[in-house]
Structure 1
Amino acid sequence: MRNEHELRKSVVAEMHLRRWPQLQPGMTVIQVLRQVADEEREIEQESLARLPEGGAVEPSPNPRHVQGSFGEGIDFGWERHSEASATTLFISRGAGIALDPQGDEAVSRALDWADSLPGKIVRATRIAIVADMTEAAALLPRFAFEPLDLVSCDIAGGARIWSDFRLREDGFGAVLVAANGLPPGDLSRTVQRLQELGNYRNLALLGLPVAQAGWKVLDGIEAELATLGTRVARSDVSDDELLKQVTDLSMQLMTQTASSDFRLSATEAYAVLVEERLEDLCIEPVPGFQSLADFTQRRFLPAIRTCAAHRRRAETLAARTAQFVSLFRTRVETRIENQNGRLLHSMEKSISTQLRMQHLVEGLSVVALSYYAISLIGYMLKGAEKFDHDISSGVIIAVLTPFVVAAMWLAIRSMKQRILHHD
């Protein structure tokens, strides 16, 4: 087609991700969810290309989703998420495989391959699917669920599940599902949503240890902020000392926020997905048993609230730190203004003194210049007395002295005006 958008095929392929094959009673689903680092993605792709003998991969329009088979009755799917990857085995060799997968050689090889994939395991589950309550009752004792932790409820309008959500010795959790007449397509979507609920729940809970560890750091920051708040009002504490402390505190808070923000933001996003999956499963409680909704709400929500409280507290401390910095800046600006005021007052006194000194110098200059001028005139008149004895130099000097002084004052004043108004 002409003028096709470069992302059209990726968008269409995205809409077909996360699809599972149709599940039937008598099947076992084994899924491993791993948190995979960016540097491990290349190794992961190499592992997907190295399937054990008999394995084959189906063509896929999107590299984030791979489907294939390990032989008759063992299919697999691999899906890449933003920070994790899910590997799922679909085994059509009886629900009892969920109890002892190592007893089947082909299943054991498939599990060994799944175990070789890189990443840290976040969740691993074995799901046994049976036809009805009769088959479930026969198989239930073999699962040896913990009675006090047993969760059992109806989901999706008829199917029923059992699990204690505890880890077995091999590191897997176990779930028993009775289809109870649920069509294969609906059964597949229901079990997939059930798994997504557990996966998103575990990914969300990864933020809890981060929040708990960060809580102690925030306690220290809050206590130090309180101390700084009292010290900023004391005049005996230097600005340099306060600046160093508030800078160290700000850096500590920024480091804590930067190290935890991604994890806690992811927890918030996963928590929304958990709520959506709970709603999609249409959970109906069974008398005498704890339902999946009760189990999730009772244990999951407090952890999510702790993570949310950590983020809110960090934001509050950041705002308080900003207020303290503003208060500290006001203190510094006030001191600078006071210093500038004192400096201006000192400069004003200095200028006033200089002005008085200048007037004094001007007066002395008039006197000195007048004295020299009158002296010169006196010498001239004394010389003239020798030629004309009628000339009285003393009288003439006495008469000229006021005029000479006035002339000198006017001359100096005129020169001063020209200098001051010169462009």
Structure 2
Amino acid sequence: MRNEHELRRVVVNEMHLRRWPALMPDCTVIQILRQVTEAERDKEREALSQLPAGATPDPSPNPRHFQARFADGIIFGWERHSEATAATLFIQRSAEFALDPTADQQVATALGWLMDLPGKIVRATRIAVVGDEASAQAMLPRFAFAIDDIVSCHVGDGARIWSDFHLRDDGFGAVLVAANGMPASDLSRTVQRLQELGNYRNLALLGLPIAQRGWKVFDTIEAELAMLGARIGSAEVTDDALLTEVTGLSMELMTEAASSDFRMSATEAYGRLVEERLDDLCIRPCAGFQSLADFTQRRFQPAIRTCAAHRRRGEVLAGRTAQFISLFRTRVETRIENQNGRLLHSMERSISTQLRLQQLVEGLSVVALSYYLIGLIGYVLKGAEKAVPALPATAIAAVLVPFVVLATWFAIHRLKARIFRH
């Protein structure tokens, strides 16, 4: 098609996510959720292209999904998420494989290949799906769930689950599901949502250790900020010393925020997905047992609130640091203004002194010039007195003194005015 948007097919394929195969009672689902880095994506794709002998791939238009048939009754499904990958084995043979996957060579081979995929395992679960609660009660003792921690409730349109959410010696968790007559498609969607709930829960909880570790960093930063706040008013502490300390604190705070912000944002997003999956599962409690909703709310929500508090505290400390920097800037600016004021006052005194000196020099200049002019006039009058003996040269010179002084002062004043105008 001409002029087709380059992302159109990606968007369309995204709206057609591959569902799980229809699950019939008396089957096993084994799923491993891994956190895969960008550097491991190529290895993951290479591993998917090298299926065990006899496996038949099922092409998918969406590069985030892949499915293959390993053997009769063994289907492999692969799905990529933003930062994790879910790889699932659907064993439509017996629920017993949830207890011992090595009981069948083909199942053991498929599981061995599954375990070798790249990435760090975040969650691994074996799910046994049986027909009804009577069959589940018969298998329940073999799962050896912890009595005090067992979770059991109805989900979906009638199915019931049992689990203690503990890890077995092989690192897998175990879930027992009684279909109770649910249609295969509905049962498949219910178990898939159940798995998504657990997967999103574990991905969300990855932020808890980071938040707990960051809490200690924030404690240190907060204490140092309090000390700096007390020292900023002290004149004994230099600006350079304060600048060095506040810069170090800002860098430490920025480093902590940068290293944890993505994880805290992801935890918040996964937390909302967990809430959505809880609503989708339509959980109904069973007498004598804690329900999946109770288990999740009691243990999961405090962790989510801790991560949210970590982000809020980081924002508060960033605001306090900004306020401290503002106060520090005010201190420096005030000090500079005071220095400038003292400098201006000193310059004012210097200019005033120079002005007085200038006026004194001008006065002396008027006197000196007047003295010389009167001397010259005196020479002229003495010469005229010899020619005209009756001429009173001395009296005339005395009378001319004030006029000469005024004329000299006026001439100098006019000359200075002309110089300043230019």
SS in 2 for 1:318: helix
Alignment of 1:19-34 (within 5 A): 19-34=19-34
Which residue in 1 is equivalent to 2:116? 116
Q: CA deviation at 1:387?
A: 4.6
User: For 1:384 and 1:42, how far apart are their aligned partners in 2?
Assistant: 121
For 2:404 and 2:43, locate their aligned partners in 1 and report how far apart those are by CA, in whole Å. Answer: 107
Please give the per-residue CA displacement for 1:101-153, whole angstroms capped at 9, x wherever unaligned: 11211111111211111111000000111111121122111111111111111
Supply the distance in 2 between the matched residues of 1:8 and 1:126 (Cα, whole angstroms): 37
What's 1:51 paired with? 51
Q: Distance in 1 between matches of 2:291 and 2:350?
A: 87
Q: 1:162-173 to 2 correspondence within 5 Å? A: 162-173=162-173
Q: Distance in 1 between matches of 2:335 and 2:155?
A: 70
SS in 1 for 2:71: coil
1:136-187, Cα deviation, whole Å (9 max, x unpaired): 1221111111111111111002101111111111111111111000001100
Alignment of 1:245-324 (within 5 A): 245-324=245-324
Residue type at the aligned position of 1:188:
S
Q: Does 1:351 align with 2:351?
A: yes
SS at match of 1:201: helix
Moved more, 198-207 or 370-379: 370-379
- Corresponding letter in the other structure for 1:418: R
Match of residue 105 from structure 1: 105
Q: Distance in 2 between matches of 1:369 and 1:70?
A: 121
State whether structure 2 residue 206 is matched by structure 1 residue 206.
yes
Residues 21-80 of structure 1: CA deviation (Å, up to 9, x unaligned): 111112111000000111111111111111111122211111111111112111111111
Alpha-carbon deviation of 1:379?
3.1
The percentage of counterpart residues that share the same residue type is 71
Q: What is the alpha-carbon distance in structure 1 between the residues aligned to residue 45 and residue 315 of structure 2?
A: 40
Comparing 339-348 with 300-309, greater Cα deviation is found at 339-348
Is 2:374 the counterpart of 1:371?
no
Shift of 1:386: 4.8
| 1:354 Cα offset (Å) | 1.6
Cα deviation code 1:363-391 (max 9, x no counterpart): 11111111122222333344445555444
Q: Match for residue 244 of structure 2?
A: 244
Tell me the equivalent position of 2:83.
Answer: 83
Query: 2:332 — aligned with what?
Result: 332
AA in 1 matched with 2:60: S
Whether 1:74 aligns to 2:74 is yes
Task: Give distance in 2, aligned partners of 1:118 and 1:368.
Answer: 104
Question: Distance between the aligned counterparts of 2:42 and 2:3, measured in 1?
Answer: 33
**Matching residue of 2:63:** 63
Question: Equivalent residues in 2 for 1:152-167 (5 A)?
Answer: 152-167=152-167
Deviation at 1:323, TM superposition (A): 1.4
For 2:149, the equivalent position in structure 1 comes to 149
TM-score when normalising by structure 1: 0.96
What's the CA shift string for 1:323-354, capped at 9, x where partnerless?
11122222222222222222222222222212
Please give the alpha-carbon distance, in whole angstroms, between the structure 2 residues aligned to 1:74 and 1:394.
141
Report the secondary structure of 2:233's partner residue. Answer: coil
Q: Deviations over 1:291-345 (max 9, x none)?
A: 1111111111111111111111111111111111122222222222222222222
Find the aligned partners of 2:74 and 2:376 in 1 and give their Cα distance. Answer: 130
Other-structure match for 1:182 = 182
Distance in 1 separating the partners of 2:293 and 2:42? 38
- Tell me by how many angstroms 1:12 deviates: 1.3
- Name the SS for the 1:123 alignment partner: strand
CA distance in 1, matches of 2:349, 2:18: 84
Residue type at the aligned position of 1:8: R
Aligned residue-pair number? 422
CA distance, structure 2, for counterparts of residue 354 and residue 109 of structure 1: 102
In structure 1, the partner of 2:192 is 192
Q: SS of 1:70's equivalent? A: strand
Tell me the distance in 1 between the aligned counterparts of 2:371 and 2:109: 123
Q: After superposing the two structures, state which structure 1 stretch, 58-67 or 350-359, moved more.
A: 350-359
Determine the structure 1 residue equivalent to 2:418: 418
Alpha-carbon distance, 1:6 to partner: 2.6
Distance in 2 separating the partners of 1:7 and 1:38: 21
Looking at structure 2, the residues matched to 133 and 232 of structure 1 have their Cα atoms a distance apart, in angstroms, of 70
For structure 2, the residue ranges without an aligned partner over 5 or more in a row are none
3-state secondary structure, aligned to 1:346: helix
TM-score, structure 2 normalization: 0.97
- Bigger drift between 115-124 and 388-397 goes to 388-397
Say whether residues 1:230 and 2:230 are aligned partners. yes
Q: Secondary structure at the match of 1:50?
A: coil
Give the aligned residue type for 2:116: S
SS at match of 1:282: coil
Q: Distance in 1 between matches of 2:254 and 2:387?
A: 102
Deviations 1:76-101 (A, max 9, x none): 11111111011011111211011111
Looking at structure 2, the residues matched to 18 and 147 of structure 1 have their Cα atoms a distance apart, in angstroms, of: 37
In structure 2, the residue matched to 1:140 is 140
Following the alignment from structure 2 to structure 1, what is the Cα–Cα distance between the partners of residues 91 and 191?
Answer: 14
